[in-house]
Amino acid sequence: MECDVVVIGLGPGGEHAATSLAKAGLSVVGVDERLVGGECPYYGCIPTKMMIAAADRLRTARHAGTADVRPDWKPVADRIRDEATDDWNDQVAVDRLVAAGAHFARGRGRITAPRTVTVTAPDGAATSCTARRGIVLNTGTTPSAPPVAGLADTPYWTNRDVVQLTELPASLAVLGGGAIGSEIAQAFAAFEVKVTVIEAADRILAVEEPEASAAVAQAFAEDGITVLTSARAERVEHDDDGFRVQLADRVVTADRLLVAAGRRNNLTGLGLEHVGLDPQSRVLEPDERMRVADGVWAIGDITGKGAFTHMSMYQADLVIRDLTGADGPWADYRAVGRVTFTAPEVGSVGLTEAAARARGLDVKTATGDLGTRGWIAGESGPIKLVAAQGVLVGGTVVGSMGGEVLSALVTAIHARVPITTLADMHFAYPTFHRALQPVLRALL
Ligand SMILES: Cc1cc2nc3c(=O)[nH]c(=O)nc-3n(C[C@H](O)[C@H](O)[C@H](O)COP(=O)(O)OP(=O)(O)OC[C@H]3O[C@@H](n4cnc5c(N)ncnc54)[C@H](O)[C@@H]3O)c2cc1C
Ligand SMILES: NC(=O)c1ccc[n+]([C@@H]2O[C@H](COP(=O)([O-])OP(=O)(O)OC[C@H]3O[C@@H](n4cnc5c(N)ncnc54)[C@H](O)[C@@H]3O)[C@@H](O)[C@H]2O)c1
């Protein structure tokens, strides 16, 4: 078979690239061995945010003192199955891709020569495809389990199991207090699951500002979640009574164990050596047009620029531009926003203070809180801004609207708006975003 472009892996960015390039008139073959759309719609963002939306409602009802708040997981499980994942069936996505003019091949794609991909279908049949223009890689990640004694022999869960639950356990141990572990831990706790988070670093959400970690840890304590930090699992056992996680100084017991300790990029066995790349690569470093080798582009989590759906989509846009002869703009990662959907949310953009200092920038920081609106709403949460040479380079807003207030900071960093200009803007009273003003003025 011959075509212009083969896209291996149809995560959010791969699907977007394949669809858009086909619509632009290129002949495109999209390859996926699992579900078209990737981790986000079936096992990641969407089902977990549905859990969190339900947990938020429970929390609101409890805070309002509503009598008789009884959590019921069934509507959540039904909604994830019916509305988010179509019972983990991607036919709608496949039809959309084909309607755009692309050819879809279900199977495992592997580069077997420059501009050549071999697809092995689930029945073992292999088909080769020559891509005249090139190959786009969007193979994403797989949950990785740390090398803890005994763990591999136990029926531990990953995010892919948790989103398919029809019933919740009475207790859950969560190995890893990053974004996945923290979001799921808190959603389950709202449904009265007894949750223990075991985190190897000295704080949960360790990639965020310490002030954000502290605020979320405080909320977890109020939710009855046990958080163990600087805690490494040494051995895991499972029997009819559930899981036993041995730490240096104690044993954590729980009915179930969720492993959320990081992800592994799907680069093994991809045939990278056929295009001059190291087959042992753990990450692919793209140029500003997402090219990683002659006739090969990489997008999404495998590029290590931030494991987010919006990053995968952003990078897909760059590939689409490159392959359709557009003249940029090309990659710019200064203003990457991210939101961890805990309660409170952690919205952050750009560099943390530590990351900015590690880059040798002449850093100035200022902190504040959610101001009048926070006081009215009965919410507290830190705001922290990081500046260098008169412009913002990073910012964090923690609060129920943290991810929304963030957009002002993303705009400021993206457009390099001087802090003198930002500090003199109109900020409506009493909004959450108005709380940015005193923090900006403290940077002048
Ligand atoms: C629980 C969870 C919650 C998340 N929440 C958020 C969130 O709220 N916001 C956010 O922005 N991000 C979130 N993420 C991250 C987000 O899901 C990913 O960043 C996003 O899916 C982009 O990934 P990707 O494009 O690299 O590919 P993926 O989505 O990982 O898809 C890769 C695809 O490639 C296919 N594939 C792999 N190898 C091959 C091969 N050799 N041949 C054929 N097909 C192959 C796979 O089957 C898969 O369909 C979350 C992730 C998880 C796990
Ligand atoms: N809201 C969002 O945007 C969102 C939500 C979920 C996931 N994601 C993306 O998915 C990526 C992966 O998420 P993740 O939470 O799996 O990974 P992560 O790397 O963010 O967090 C993993 C955590 O596990 C800890 N850990 C590792 N080994 C351990 C061990 N043996 N014992 C105890 N703790 C251990 C690490 O210290 C780390 O804090 C994130 O980086 C993020 O980009 C995004």
pLDDT of residue 27: 98
pLDDT-derived band at 210, boundaries 50, 70, 90: very high
The reply to whether ligand 1 has any atom less than 6 angstroms from the CB of 13 is yes
The rounded Å distance from CA 227 to ligand 2 centre is: 15
Question: What's the burial of 155, exposed, middle or buried (CB within 10 Å: 0-12/13-18/19+)?
Answer: exposed
The reply to whether ligand 1 has any atom less than 6 angstroms from the CB of 403 is no
- CATH numbers and ranges of domains, the chain: 2-37+90-142+264-323 (3.50.50.60), 151-261 (3.50.50.60), 337-442 (3.30.390.30)
What is the rounded distance in angstroms from the CA atom of residue 170 to the CA atom of residue 316? 42
The rounded Å distance from CA 34 to ligand 1 centre is: 11
Mean pLDDT of 270-289: 98
Q: Are 5 and 126 in contact (CB under 8 A)?
A: no
Between the CA of residue 273 and those of 112, 114, 300, what are the distances in Å?
A: 9, 10, 20
Q: Could you give the strand order of the β-sheet that contains 391-399, starting from the edge strand earlier in sequence?
A: 337-340, 345-350, 391-399, 382-388, 363-369
Assess whether pLDDT exceeds 90 at residue 47: yes
Please report, to the nearest 10 degrees, the dihedral formed by the alpha carbons of residues 355, 360, 362, 363 taken in order.
Answer: 10
pLDDT of residue 48: 98
Instruction: Using a pLDDT cut of 70, give the percent of the chain over it.
Output: 100
Mean pLDDT of 75-89: 98
The predicted-structure confidence for 344-399, as pLDDT tens digits, reads as follows 999 999 999 999 999 999 999 999 999 999 999 999 999 999 999 999 999 999 99
Whose tokens are 């207090």? That residue is 177
pLDDT-derived band at 306, boundaries 50, 70, 90: very high
What's phi and psi for 291, nearest 5 deg?
A: -80, 135
Assess whether pLDDT exceeds 80 at residue 66: no
- Helices 12-23, 91-99: axis angle to 10 degrees equals 30
Assess whether pLDDT exceeds 90 at residue 335: yes
Mean pLDDT of the chain: 97
The reply to whether ligand 2 has any atom less than 6 angstroms from the CB of 394 is no
The reply to whether ligand 2 has any atom less than 6 angstroms from the CB of 301 is no
The reply to whether ligand 1 has any atom less than 6 angstroms from the CB of 139 is yes
The reply to whether ligand 2 has any atom less than 6 angstroms from the CB of 309 is no
ipTM: 0.99
pLDDT-derived band at 79, boundaries 50, 70, 90: very high
Pocket test for ligand 1, best of 8, 16, 31, 40 (most atoms within 8 A of CB): 40
This prediction has a pTM of 0.98
pLDDT-derived band at 207, boundaries 50, 70, 90: very high
pLDDT-derived band at 68, boundaries 50, 70, 90: confident
pLDDT of residue 376: 96
Q: Are 143 and 16 in contact (CB under 8 A)?
A: no
pLDDT of residue 222: 96
